[in-house]
């Protein structure tokens, strides 16, 4: 009898044990990557102003060709207070100033080179533009970031070099020069909150950053804590995850492509874009390429509205003045963002859980919902639906995946009496920072057909079996006509039944080998990160080694811009 009772109790005891285990596991949170205080403070700015100003401004080019007589350089109308007011006009909370661009000219009185502000006519060589920008930022409550190009043409460290000199015997000397320049910028101009290493930086500056840039986020390089989005169009592909693997981040050139919601490292996305499409430096001709307000609003929705940070460029003219038409456009942009989003109809804040329902005081017509997640605890929301109670039923308004800092959803007008957010997939308990409802009028650009990115494959080359010698062949492909603007591109082999693979690849910019970090290889594809601006003088060459066995017929090489 006792044995029989025990037998009947075992299933019950097992069930209790399993439930206890389940409860314990449910109380345990999955570890997620989270932002540091510096990353969070940077991310909350949402909008930042870039300032490109250099010898290329006087040359009407994108890169300095050293043709400018420094005695002609006299931007005597410079007023950095006005630059800061312009930044604030579109809601920027920080300025990233290009202190040294590719050619190597320095806007501060460095001891490392004669190619600097000390040798121009402006202020008889006694000026320090970096100091003036710093003082104005402090005056207007703006944070300050600095761009210091890792390369220098005068040292044979050109585009795509990351600071690596073409002549190895000059590397150590250039390393000392660059490290001194960086130290000067980080120690003489107050707190720096962002450091820009365009492309990446192969020079070891970790100790300098740890000592003098404790409040800064780092753009590219092995010390990167934020990422280039992967294009200069100002948009983040969706979903846009803030985390990725630490191995990908350590490459120094990771982009949105490497985004992974389960990654162990946190590095949010920055969307850099010029006001002139597509030029970073002022010229009379470039002013004609000024983006429209509608273009800028699309950019805002696809950058800040997808959880990224928008870095919008400004470029003063040869007098040091941001053109009046540009200033007016920035003001229009800021005003339009405020018109649309400064006064929500309803706000739901600080909620937890997988479902939030709010009953409105009265039926309201809406066409926008802005979601914000408390991403300080990581990105927990992985998929969601937004529904409105209309005509006695729940109607789907929008759905998505990543939320992070902000996700703007828009749709046709609908009158609702209740709103429901359903988190259909999450890791740990969802933390909703806010749900904001809007009815926005006069926004026609949102529902017009969008320009589609260049994402279709283009045929580049054909190979034949007789091209293989001892199982391989080399081919040089001129990519210049196929890469119109910086971004991420992809080349693939179409074997047509042949067993082939890419055994090696090299990227060459203007006759100089670029860093291998700009290429990502698999057996049949090569991804190309093109970070440098495209000009008429630019040449881009990809050298491939292709291997194969039992080649029975022709194969093809295709190319596209990643969508």
Torsion, CA 5, CA 9, CA 11, CA 16, rounded to 10: 180
pLDDT digits (tens, 9 = 90+) for 205-248: 999 999 999 999 999 999 999 999 999 999 999 999 999 999 99
- Band of pLDDT at residue 534, cut at 50, 70 and 90: low
Look at residue 415 and tell me whether its pLDDT is greater than 80. Answer: yes
Residues 6+ apart with CB under 8 A from 123: none
**CB-CB contact of 117 with 69 (8 Å):** no
Q: Which of 92, 110, 89 is nearest to 44 (CA)?
A: 92
Give me the mean pLDDT over the 524-541 stretch.
81
Query: What is the per-residue pLDDT for 283?
Result: 97
What is this structure's pTM? 0.90
**CB-CB contact of 220 with 252 (8 Å):** yes
Query: Where do the domains of the chain lie?
Result: 47-341, 346-438, 458-561
Let me know the angle formed at the C-alpha of 16 by 11 and 17, rounded to the nearest 5 degrees.
Answer: 95
- Band of pLDDT at residue 485, cut at 50, 70 and 90: confident
What is 137-193 written as a DSSP string?
A: HHHHT-EEEEEE-S-BGGGTB-TT-TT--SSGGGHHHHHHHHHHHHHHHHHSSS---
**CB-CB contact of 32 with 241 (8 Å):** no
Look at residue 430 and tell me whether its pLDDT is greater than 70. Answer: yes
Residues 6+ apart with CB under 8 A from 541: 476, 477, 478, 479, 480, 507, 508
Query: Quick one: CATH architecture of 346-438?
Result: Sandwich (2.60)
Q: How far apart are CA 416 and CA 439, in angstroms?
A: 12
Let me know the angle formed at the C-alpha of 424 by 382 and 239, rounded to the nearest 5 degrees.
Answer: 30
554 or 128: which leads in pLDDT = 128
What is the dihedral sign for C-alpha 551, 553, 557, 558?
negative
Q: How far apart are CA 547 and CA 433, in angstroms?
A: 53
- The SS3 of residue 8 is helix
Both structure tokens of 370: 């802005």
291 secondary structure, DSSP code: P
Query: What is the per-residue pLDDT for 2?
Result: 40
Class of domain 458-561 (CATH, top level): mainly beta
- Average pLDDT along the chain: 92
Class of domain 47-341 (CATH, top level): alpha beta
Query: What is the per-residue pLDDT for 23?
Result: 40
Give me the mean pLDDT over the 452-468 stretch.
77
Angle between helices 293-302 and 324-341 (to 10 degrees): 50
Both structure tokens of 447: 């529902």
Query: What is the per-residue pLDDT for 17?
Result: 47
Q: Which of 118, 105, 6 is nearest to 58 (CA)?
A: 105
pLDDT digits (tens, 9 = 90+) for 373-398: 999 999 999 999 999 999 999 999 99
Q: How far apart are CA 146 and CA 208, in angstroms?
A: 14
Please name every residue paired with 334 in a beta bridge, in sequence order, or none if there are none.
Answer: none
Please name every residue paired with 410 in a beta bridge, in sequence order, or none if there are none.
Answer: 368
φ, ψ for residue 355, nearest 5 deg = -145, 135
């Amino acid at each position: 009898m006792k044995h029989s009772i025990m037998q009947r109790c075992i299933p019950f005891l097992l069930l209790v044990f399993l439930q206890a285990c389940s409860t314990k596991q449910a109380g345990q949170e999955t570890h997620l990557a989270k932002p540091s205080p510096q990353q969070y403070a940077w991310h909350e700015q949402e909008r930042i102003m870039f300032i490109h100003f250099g010898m290329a401004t006087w040359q009407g080019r994108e890169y300095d060709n050293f043709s400018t007589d420094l005695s002609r350089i006299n931007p005597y109308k410079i007023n950095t207070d006005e630059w800061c007011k312009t930044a604030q006009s579109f809601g920027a909370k920080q300025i990233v100033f290009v202190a040294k661009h590719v050619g190597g000219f320095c806007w501060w009185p460095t001891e490392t080179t004669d190619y600097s502000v000390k040798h121009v006519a402006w202020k008889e060589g006694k000026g320090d533009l970096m100091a003036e920008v710093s003082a104005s930022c402090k005056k207007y409550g703006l944070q300050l970031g600095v761009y210091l190009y890792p390369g220098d043409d005068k040292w044979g460290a050109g585009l795509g070099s990351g600071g690596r000199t073409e002549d190895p015997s000059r590397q150590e000397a250039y390393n000392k020069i660059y490290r001194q320049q960086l130290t000067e910028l980080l120690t003489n101009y107050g707190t720096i909150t962002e450091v820009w290493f365009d492309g990446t930086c192969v020079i070891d500056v970790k100790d300098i950053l740890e000592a003098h840039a404790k409040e800064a986020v780092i753009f590219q390089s092995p010390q990167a804590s934020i990422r280039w989005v992967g294009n200069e169009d100002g948009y983040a592909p969706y979903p846009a995850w803030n985390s990725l693997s630490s191995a990908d981040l350590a490459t120094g050139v990771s982009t949105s492509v490497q985004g992974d919601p389960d990654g162990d490292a946190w590095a949010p996305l920055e969307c850099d874009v010029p006001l002139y499409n597509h030029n970073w430096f002022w010229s009379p001709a470039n002013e004609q390429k000024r983006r429209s307000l509608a273009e800028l609003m699309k950019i805002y929705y696809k950058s800040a509205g997808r959880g990224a940070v928008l870095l919008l460029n400004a470029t003063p003219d040869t007098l040091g003045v941001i053109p009046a038409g540009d200033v007016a456009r920035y003001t229009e942009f800021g005003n339009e963002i405020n018109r649309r989003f400064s006064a929500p109809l309803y706000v739901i804040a600080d909620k937890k859980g997988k479902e939030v329902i709010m009953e409105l005081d009265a039926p309201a017509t809406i066409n926008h919902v802005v979601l914000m997640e408390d991403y300080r605890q990581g990105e927990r929301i992985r998929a969601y639906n937004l529904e409105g109670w209309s005509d006695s039923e729940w109607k789907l308004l929008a759905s998505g995946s990543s939320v992070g800092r902000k996700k703007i959803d828009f749709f046709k007008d609908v009158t609702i009496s209740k709103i429901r957010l359903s988190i259909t997939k999450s890791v740990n308990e969802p933390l909703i920072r806010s749900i904001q409802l809007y009815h926005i009028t006069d926004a026609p650009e949102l529902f017009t057909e969008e320009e589609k990115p260049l994402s279709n494959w283009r045929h580049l080359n054909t190979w034949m079996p007789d091209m293989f010698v001892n199982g391989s062949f080399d081919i040089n492909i001129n990519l210049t006509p196929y890469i119109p603007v910086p971004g991420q591109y992809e080349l693939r082999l179409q074997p047509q039944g042949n067993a082939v693979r890419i055994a090696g690849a090299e990227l060459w910019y203007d006759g100089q080998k670029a860093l291998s970090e700009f290429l990502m290889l698999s057996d049949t594809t090569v991804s190309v990160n093109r970070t440098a601006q495209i000009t008429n003088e630019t040449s881009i060459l990809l050298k491939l080694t292709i291997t194969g066995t039992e080649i029975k017929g022709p194969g093809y090489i295709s190319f596209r811009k990643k969508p």
